[in-house]
Amino acid sequence: MRIAVIALGKIGLPLAAQFADSGHEVVGVDVNSQTVDLINRGIEPFPGEAFLQEKLSKLVPAGRLRATTNYADAIPKADVVVIVVPLFVNDATWEPDFAWMDAATKSLAEHLTPGTLVSYETTLPVGTTRGRWKPMLEAGSGLVEGQDFHLVFSPERVLTGRVFEDLRKYPKLIGGLSEEGTRLGREFYEAVLQFDDRPDLSRPNGVWDLGTAEASEMAKLAETTYRDVNIGLANQFGVFAADNGIDVYQVIEACNSQPFSHIHRPGIAVGGHCIPVYPRLYLSTDPDADIVRTARLMNASMPDRLVKQAEAVLGSLEGQRAVVLGAAYRGGVKETAFSGVFPTVDALRSRGAVVSVHDPLYSDDELQALGFEPYELGGDVDVAILQTDHAMYRELSPAQLPGIKMLVDGRNATNASQWAGTPRIVVGVASSPDTPIA
């Protein structure tokens, strides 16, 4: 097959490599000419994705994978077009911002040729494939969906850093607009993906047809919104437990010892491209989902809550030297999408603290480009807030943060024995008598 992949980001490029590695000819389209140039030189444009460089080094010289900025070069005569363009959400209104996806879809439509299967993998509000992309593709191409081309929705279900592993591990969900489109979608993904044996599943691992595009759209929103709601519940439990002298982690461990409970862990922030965003996409079509809204607001409030607790202990943060440990949204991943570092820094600055940021994955120049003053371990500090659970922070000690008056561990990642004698707030755990929580 000749396959075009639109948007060569941290999901799109590994997908393109997976398709090419399965024996197909792949052309990727991206608006970033620097990204395109690096790919065509066989160099991964972003670090940290397991096996990606190895695959690029093999596939690009072999002519199986190339990149372009030109839709006219990639789309005509493609058997399949897969779209992984980002969809953003307006922070103020919580409404989806389709600008980038609309632009990509219009460019795709302009060059779409008969016989093509189009698959959207970007997570979407329910009804978008049928109600937005189908008419837009038909209007721009002059072709008829279900007759001249076919359209399916098949959400990506992978995490950056382990895309190739996740592609094998999880069933590939699809939902078409027609019986023929569904058949073509199933055959396509069966030809480009390989699946691990999963005896724990109710049916064999592989391509799962959910019947409609709407069901497939909802499945992705539901599985990610579940996580946000679960974390919101864990945070609610954590706040109550800390106020009442209870260790919420012991409670959660006890609850999860039987199969009917699967409570997640509380934490200072929920970050990444998915969990903070997709509940808002769901709310855009189900505004009555009060449980979803309440959980999202609870999770968004956690950085300010923990900074407020530190302020209550120290009396004031005005002029205090504060360092946020971790810019990445999760440990071991060099990505700041919706990271808790931003609201944490804002909360500290709003209270007059002098804020710097440390992250072992980012250079000083990269931190400055994000708007942060870099911090190096060993520099004087009054209060530190652990925002990212990087492995190196697990054995962090006061000696590495000279002058520290308080540690706020937003991930329960540090070793309590290392912090004896130093006030330490842990999300979800009651503080010692000398570190009261407001």
Query: With the C-alpha atoms ordered 276, 282, 285, 289, is the resulting torsion angle positive or negative?
Result: negative
For residue 183, the model assigns a pLDDT of 98
Q: Is 220 annotated in the active site?
A: yes
For residue 437, the model assigns a pLDDT of 39
From 10, 172, 220, 334, active-site residue: 220
For residue 431, the model assigns a pLDDT of 72
Beta strand segments in 266-366, E: 321-325, 354-358
76-105 residue pLDDT tens: 999 999 999 999 999 889 999 999 999 999
pLDDT-derived band at 432, boundaries 50, 70, 90: low
269-320 residue pLDDT tens: 999 989 999 999 999 999 999 999 999 999 999 999 999 999 999 999 999 9
User: CB atoms < 10 A from the CB of 329, how many?
Assistant: 24
Q: Is 255 annotated in the active site?
A: no
CA distance 218 to 40: 36
Task: Kindly give, in sequence order, each residue whose CB lies less than 8 Å from that of residue 420, ignoring residues fewer than 6 positions away.
Answer: none
Hey, is 188 helix, strand or coil?
A: helix
Q: Say whether pLDDT at 160 is over 70.
A: yes
* Structure tokens given for 190: 């069966």
CA distance 227 to 159: 14
218-245 residue pLDDT tens: 999 999 999 999 999 999 999 999 999 9
Compute φ and ψ for 207, nearest 5 degrees: -85, 120
For residue 48, the model assigns a pLDDT of 86
Q: Write out the H or E segment, with its range, that includes residue 26.
A: strand 25-29
344-403 residue pLDDT tens: 999 999 999 999 999 999 999 999 999 999 999 999 999 999 999 999 999 999 999 999
13-30 residue pLDDT tens: 999 999 999 999 999 999
For residue 433, the model assigns a pLDDT of 46
Rounded to 10°, the helix 134-141/99-111 angle is 40
Q: Report whether 84 contacts 121 (CB < 8 A).
A: yes
Task: Kindly give, in sequence order, each residue whose CB lies less than 8 Å from that of residue 376, ignoring residues fewer than 6 positions away.
Answer: 358
Terminal C-alpha separation, the chain: 62
List of domains in the chain: 2-211 (3.40.50.720), 215-438 (3.40.50.720)
DSSP letters along 345-387, please?
HHHHHHTT-EEEEE-TTS-HHHHHHTT--B--TTS--SEEEE-
Q: How confident is the model over 180-193, as a mean pLDDT?
A: 98
From 134, 172, 274, 334, active-site residue: 274
